[in-house]
Structures are given as structure tokens and as C-alpha cells.
């Protein structure tokens, strides 16, 4: 610390320091060049400037689904944790920003001391007691010559943005998962309806066969085969009922409603949402919250290199105080009682056995890791869209084939029943036709469910319409 007798020279130095504060060591952030194909290679055309609208799940025209999503976004614990991380990151950002400003403190003290009457000569009549009153206003400020504090603030800001992107990712994943579970529930409802219809038919056949057997028109074998067929469908209904309850429980967990009960519905009555505009692959860099989060992490790691490099250079701090000091309280605020001090401090690293250089290398290695994570996120986003497009197309082909198979199976069942009623075939032929028709109908429902899930996956892969709240500052994560 170098004391001065007048504040004017130090004030001049402070002005000069602020004029040099624009220098920042370390690399400035630039978005990496990630090469993506011009299209997703699917039959669906890419549309420049296309974007997914938030609330796309309303295309299902299902009030129950809308209410579940609204409840989940409000009460899901994963979303609540993500929101708390935003609060934490914002507090870190405020702390980093505060480091750029002077710290000011106010102090006051009062004391009374007694001196020894024998340790040192005391003038006759002088008091051995002494009062001391003091007030002070102090300030300290670190000059950010090399940009250490600004780089730290830049990193904190990028991480604060990253927590917002992370929350968007959590919400998008939650909505996609919830819709998938809901579609599974409605598919199970449809399969239960089909299975119960089949069960009712087979029970009627048992009654008919019992009556025929009593008149000698059917064999005991056919009657037992009919009973076995009823038991098989009973087991199928039990499995479907169990799976439906599990799907409902999962929806209750996602929405925070552990006692959730959803009335039966039917997937076959739900419309297939229109396919979203796929846009250009390059638009994923801004549309996908997980990609934006990876970029924010990269920007923060990039800024930390500057923080580490700035530690290689001298740090300069200014201190100052102004106050009053007096033996008598009545004189504390008089002119002669004023006191002040100004100082400048210099911390120059000379030898640390490579510790600071090692921290630069650590920061550089972390930046490389973040870069690899960002590239992986971009490639994963492209693959997600491409996979979903393939799934949508192939399920459409499967549904056409399964619909034809189901229609043929139903006609075969009708013919088999007529042949049996006319006495031209055994009841086993009817059972085989019933089994084929039942399996085809269930497979068609599962294919429709799969197609809807792939459409949901496509909406999610394209970003789901989420857009970050960039209220913490500039829109790009690397902006200081």
C-alpha cells in the first residue's frame, strides 16, 4: 500500500484506470461452425423460416390432455427444481456483476481507555482516562485492467441463460413424456374395448355351444375349446387393465396428482396432428433448448479461460476512507475532526511454480469438453428429427397394411361363422378367425399409437416451440 497526502493524484490514476478497462484477455466467444446437411433426407420438404408453435399438443383436440399438461408444467418436481436452479444462477450473476462495482462500508466506534499512572510520567492534573469517538465511510475497488471480473460476469451470465434453456428442455421432455403416456393410456382403452367385444362374442358362443352340445349338435371338444378361448381373452383383458392402471399412475406422478383417475377414452377417436414444418437443419441451433444450453455451457467455459489468463497479470486495487475522529462526542462532526485516507495496492505474481498456468490449461481443457458437448448436441438434434420423420413415414405405411389385414380378417371371421353355422366346418375354424381378427385389430391400434408418438417426437425434436426468457441480458450466451 502506497499512501498519498492528497486525493487528487489518486483520482487522476482512477480516471486513467477506467480508460484502460476495455482490455480483456482470453478468447471472445464465437459460435462454432457446425456443418449440417441441407435437408433431413425425408420426403417432407424443408421450409426455410418455419417454426413450431408452442401449444402444438392442442392439435389432439383433447381437453383432458390439455389439463394434464397444464397441471404438469405447474406442479412437476423436475420443473420446480429447474426453476430453482434459475434463481441460483441469477444470484451468482448478480454477485459477479457486483464485483465490478466499488464496495462501500459505513463504520462507527466509541471507546474509553485508562492509562497507567506509573508506567509513564503523567502531568499533574492530567486525567488517566481518555475517550475516543470515530466514524468512517470506506470504499474499495479492484481495477479490472485485464477483464478478469468482466469475464467472470460473462461466464455467470452464460450459465444463467443455460439454466433457462435447461428448464425449457425439462418442460419439453415432460410434455413429450406425458403425451406419450397419455397416448399409451388411450391405446390401452381402445384395446380393452376391442378385447371386451371379443370376450362378449366368445361368451355368446359358449352359450350357443352348450345348447348345441345338449342337443347333440356339437362335441364336447368344441365346447371346451370355446371355454379356453374365453379364458384367454379374460387373461388378455386383465393384462390390459393392469397396464392401463400403471399408465394412469405414471400420469399421476408426472402431474403431481397421486390419486389421479382418468375416465376411459379411445385412441381411435383422436385425430392425428398435422405434421409440423420441419424447417432447415440449421434452424435447430436456435430452436432446440438443449442445443442452446450446450452452447451456453460452451460460452461460459470460453469466458473462464479469460478469468484464468487474467490471473497471470498484476491486480490493482484502490482503497479510500473518509470520516471523523474526536476525543469528545461534541467535537466529532467539527471541521478539525475530519480524517481521510487513500491508497493503491498492487499484487504482482512472480513465482507460483506454474499454478496459474495450470489453471489456464484446466480452463482450456474444460472449453474443449464443452465444445465436444455442443457438437454432440447439434448432431443428436439432427438425428432426432431424422428418426422421427422416418418413423412417421413408415408407420403410415404400416397402418395402411394393417388396416387391409384387419378388414380381411373381419371378413374371414364372418365367412367362418357362416360356414360353421351351416355345418360345413368345425368350431376351431371360427376360433382361428376370431384370434386373427383380434390380433389384427390390436396391432392396428398399436400402429396408430406409434404413429402419433412419432409425430410427438417430431414436434419435440424440432424444439417444441419453446423460446427462452432472455431477461438476463443479451440474446447470445457469449455476450458480456
The helix/strand/coil state of 353 is: coil
128, 137, 190, 337 from 328: Cα distances, Å: 15, 20, 92, 10
Reported pTM: 0.84
Q: Model confidence at 44, in pLDDT bands (50, 70, 90)?
A: low
153-157, 287-291, 362-366, 423-427: segment of lowest average pLDDT: 423-427
- How many percent of the chain have pLDDT more than 70? 88
pLDDT in tens, 142-160: 888 899 999 999 999 999 9
Q: Is the dihedral of CA 79, 85, 88, 89 positive or negative?
A: negative
Q: Can you give the pLDDT at residue 257?
A: 93
Give domain limits for the chain.
1-24+105-117+126-143+314-348, 31-100+146-313+354-461
Tell me the longest C-alpha to C-alpha distance in the chain: 142
Q: Can you give the pLDDT at residue 10?
A: 45
The residue with greater pLDDT, 1 or 88, is: 88
Which distant-in-sequence residues (6+ apart) come within 8 Å of 351 by Cβ? none
Tell me the β-bridge partners of 130: 113
The H or E element containing residue 212 is helix 148-214
**Mean local confidence (pLDDT), 124-132:** 76
The residue with greater pLDDT, 256 or 115, is: 256
Check if the beta carbon of residue 316 is closer than 8 Å to that of residue 346.
yes
Packing angle of the helix pair 220-255, 148-214 (nearest 10 deg) = 160
Q: Can you give the pLDDT at residue 19?
A: 44
Q: Model confidence at 199, in pLDDT bands (50, 70, 90)?
A: very high
The whole-angstrom separation of Cα 331 and Cα 424 is 125
pLDDT of residue 50 exceeding 70, the answer is: no
In CATH terms, are 1-24+105-117+126-143+314-348 and 31-100+146-313+354-461 the same topology?
no
> What's the mean per-residue pLDDT of the chain?
87
Which one of 1.10.40.30, 3.40.50.20, 1.20.1600.10, 3.90.330.10 gives the CATH number of domain 31-100+146-313+354-461? 1.20.1600.10
Highest mean pLDDT among 51-65, 319-333, 400-414: 400-414
Q: Is the dihedral of CA 170, 160, 465, 66 positive or negative?
A: positive
Check if the beta carbon of residue 195 is closer than 8 Å to that of residue 320.
no
The superfamily in CATH containing domain 1-24+105-117+126-143+314-348 is: Outer membrane efflux proteins (OEP) (2.20.200.10)
Check if the beta carbon of residue 62 is closer than 8 Å to that of residue 243.
no
Q: Can you give the pLDDT at residue 480?
A: 47
Packing angle of the helix pair 289-310, 355-421 (nearest 10 deg) = 170
Q: Can you give the pLDDT at residue 4?
A: 45
pLDDT in tens, 317-367: 999 988 888 877 777 777 787 888 889 998 888 888 999 999 999 999 999
Amino acid at each position: 500500500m502506497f499512501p498519498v497526502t492528497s486525493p487528487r493524484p489518486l483520482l487522476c490514476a482512477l480516471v486513467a484506470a477506467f480508460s484502460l478497462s476495455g482490455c480483456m484477455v482470453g478468447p471472445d466467444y464465437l459460435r462454432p461452425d457446425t456443418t449440417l446437411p441441407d435437408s433431413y433426407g425425408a420426403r417432407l420438404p424443408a421450409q426455410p423460416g418455419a417454426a413450431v408453435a408452442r401449444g402444438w399438443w392442442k392439435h389432439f383436440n383433447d381437453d383432458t390432455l390439455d389439463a394434464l399438461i397444464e397441471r404438469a408444467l405447474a406442479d412437476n418436481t423436475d420443473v420446480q427444481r429447474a426453476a430453482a436452479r434459475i434463481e441460483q444462477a441469477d444470484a451468482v450473476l448478480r454477485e459477479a456483476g457486483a464485483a465490478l462495482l466499488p464496495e462501500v462500508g459505513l463504520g462507527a466506534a466509541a471507546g474509553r481507555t485508562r492509562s497507567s499512572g506509573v508506567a509513564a510520567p503523567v502531568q499533574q492534573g492530567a486525567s488517566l482516562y481518555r475517550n475516543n469517538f470515530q466514524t468512517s465511510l470506506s470504499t474499495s475497488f479492484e481495477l479490472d485492467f485485464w477483464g478478469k471480473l468482466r469475464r467472470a460476469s460473462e461466464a455467470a451470465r452464460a450459465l444463467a441463460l443455460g439454466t433457462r434453456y435447461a428448464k425449457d428442455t425439462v418442460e419439453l421432455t415432460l410434455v413429450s413424456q406425458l403425451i406419450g403416456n397419455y397416448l399409451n393410456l388411450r391405446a390401452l382403452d381402445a384395446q380393452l374395448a376391442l378385447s371386451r367385444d371379443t370376450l362378449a362374442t366368445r361368451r355368446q358362443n359358449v352359450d350357443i355351444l352348450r345348447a348345441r352340445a345338449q342337443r347333440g349338435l356339437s362335441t364336447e371338444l368344441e365346447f371346451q375349446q370355446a371355454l379356453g378361448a374365453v379364458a384367454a381373452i379374460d387373461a388378455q383383458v386383465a393384462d390390459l387393465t393392469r397396464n392401463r392402471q400403471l399408465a394412469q399412475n405414471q400420469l399421476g406422478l408426472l402431474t403431481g396428482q397421486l390419486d389421479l383417475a382418468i375416465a376411459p377414452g379411445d385412441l381411435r377417436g383422436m385425430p392425428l396432428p398435422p405434421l409440423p414444418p420441419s424447417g432447415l437443419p440449421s434452424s435447430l441451433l436456435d430452436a432446440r433448448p438443449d442445443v442452446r444450453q450446450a452452447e451456453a455451457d460452451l460460452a461460459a467455459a470460453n469466458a473462464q479461460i479469460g478469468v484464468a489468463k487474467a490471473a497471470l497479470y498484476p491486480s490493482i486495487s484502490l482503497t479510500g476512507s473518509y470520516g471523523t475522529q474526536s476525543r469528545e462526542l461534541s467535537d466529532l462532526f467539527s471541521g478539525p475532526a475530519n480524517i481521510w485516507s487513500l491508497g493503491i495496492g498492487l499484487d504482482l505474481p512472480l513465482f507460483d511454480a506454474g499454478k496459474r498456468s495450470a489453471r489456464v490449461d484446466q480452463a482450456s481443457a474444460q472449453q474443449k469438453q464443452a465444445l465436444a458437448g455442443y457438437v454432440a448436441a447439434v448432431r443428436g438434434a439432427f438425428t432426432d428429427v431424422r428418426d422421427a420423420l422416418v418413423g412417421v413415414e413408415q408407420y403410415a405405411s404400416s397402418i395402411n397394411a394393417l388396416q387391409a389385414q384387419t378388414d380381411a380378417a373381419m371378413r374371414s371371421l364372418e365367412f367362418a361363422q357362416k360356414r360353421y353355422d351351416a355345418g360345413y366346418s368345425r368350431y376351431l375354424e371360427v376360433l382361428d378367425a376370431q384370434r386373427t381378427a383380434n390380433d389384427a385389430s390390436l396391432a392396428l391400434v398399436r400402429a396408430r399409437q406409434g404413429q402419433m408418438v412419432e409425430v410427438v417426437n417430431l414436434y419435440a425434436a424440432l424444439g417444441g416451440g419453446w423460446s427462452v426468457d432472455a431477461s438476463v441480458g443479451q440474446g447470445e450466451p457469449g455476450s458480456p
